[in-house]
Structure 1
Amino acid sequence: MNIQLYCPKPKNELNLNLLAECEQLDWIDRIGKPSDRPFLIIEEGHLGLADPSWPKILPVFVDFQSAASTHRRLHGGGAGQAVAKAVGLNKKRDISVWDGTAGLARDSFVLASLGAQVILFERNPVVYLLLKNGFDNLSLTGDSELMAIHQRLVLHSGSFLDHSQTDAAPPDVIYLDPMFPERQKSAKVKKDMALFHDIVGADEDADSLLAPALDLATFRVVVKRPKQAPPLAGRKPSTELIGKSNRFDIYTKRAIA
């Protein structure tokens, strides 16, 4: 099924190039008014995923310059964050990471901000388009620190299993955060993120990702899971880092040097 695209201000200079880019894709249908089903929306040069109740519910954007992203980058705990420890940034600052399930790239952005070289793979075309827009906007910022982070991020469309699309060397670490099926709707899940989950769906083949990731990674594979979820493919990790709602399962091949 094609996804619909709505642009409230099509003549806005910030929207023109993005609108033209989206209209070239044969799986996008432009509409003249908000839809009764989830749709893409262009606002001030940002591409978002909108709920039918827009603007009551804000769209999901990939915005690395948002207040939330900036706060996490500056005050989120730096290399002391669990995701940073899990991939080994406390042992090697310039570690190379493949994010095999990029999603909204929030963790990858944190890793790159701490010095990691990150290649992201996203196979859902809608999510890839949101990511590409986020990276395009990041490349236009005049902030030298953000530009340096952007240089450490590379985005690919498709699966990391088809790694022939990149000529990069095998990564030190592969990071997986497969979409986990929601067992029930919860007030704790923000409505915008619930929309994202509905569009993307669960990664039904998540268990099949672990073995090839272990073949490819030099040092370890890190899998982010809901705290109470079973380990990927039923395989017990070498160690775990457990947080309030999530945990990081670490599958070690050899020590990071």
Structure 2
Amino acid sequence: MLAEMPEVSELHPVPDAHVPVLGFKLCGVSIDLLYANLAHVVIPDDLDLSQDSILHNVDEQAVRSLNGCRVTDQILRLVPNIPSFRTTLRFMRYWGKRRGVYSNVMGFLGGINWAILVARICQLYPNASPSMLISRFFRVYSQWKWPNPVTLCHIEEGPLGLPVWDPRRNFRDRGHQMPIITPAYPCMNSSYNVSTSTRYVMVQEFTRGYEICQAIDENRATWDDLFEPYPFFELYKNYLEVGITARNEDDLRNWKGWVESRLRT
């Protein structure tokens, strides 16, 4: 259906990704469309994704897909001031892209990770303005005792017996470097791709951000200093280039999506 729409281009499914996704551009805007196979013969118009019963009789991939919407809705329920949260989140996402630490695939942080981190700061400082929240963000996370997890609510076992993040029971969870836990059941670590090296880079960037925020308060710096692009090609001497080939453009897009979903740093 999407392939027949003239507004859609670069359509490529990645069914084997950790969260199955259908990537495409709609009128030039990049979109990642998640898919979940529900245990319903007919999908009702009043379907409520916030109910845990929606996860009954679905596989792990469907749970992860459904939790994309469920986590987003739950975050908005848990923050004290939604406008301040949204303003701060937009700022932090832009900052992350400028400083080269916005990429879940590459072992840094993606959209949901940034949203949870910002939401936690909003909980800690419910009456703060966005500018104050930004400064507190950098201060808190530059000093955070990783791998202690960032959570927005208590991690509950839930009624369906689905596995939740628990380093006391699960060996894999113990190895997570920078746990950022989703607030919707079943609670998972949204930053499982983070490695020791990428965590080190992010903490360094948070520290830099806090130092600049302090300088801004003292009129020794501006917000433009905070957004200065990371000089990637000036700081490193050695690089690894991954080249991929395919028989045609459609195969290349699918192959590219699969390779990107497997990249780790």
TM-score, normalised via structure 2 length = 0.30
Quick check: which one's helix share is greater?
2
TM-score by length of 1: 0.30
Determine which structure has greater relative contact order: mean sequence separation of CA pairs < 8 Å that are 6+ residues apart, divided by chain length. 2
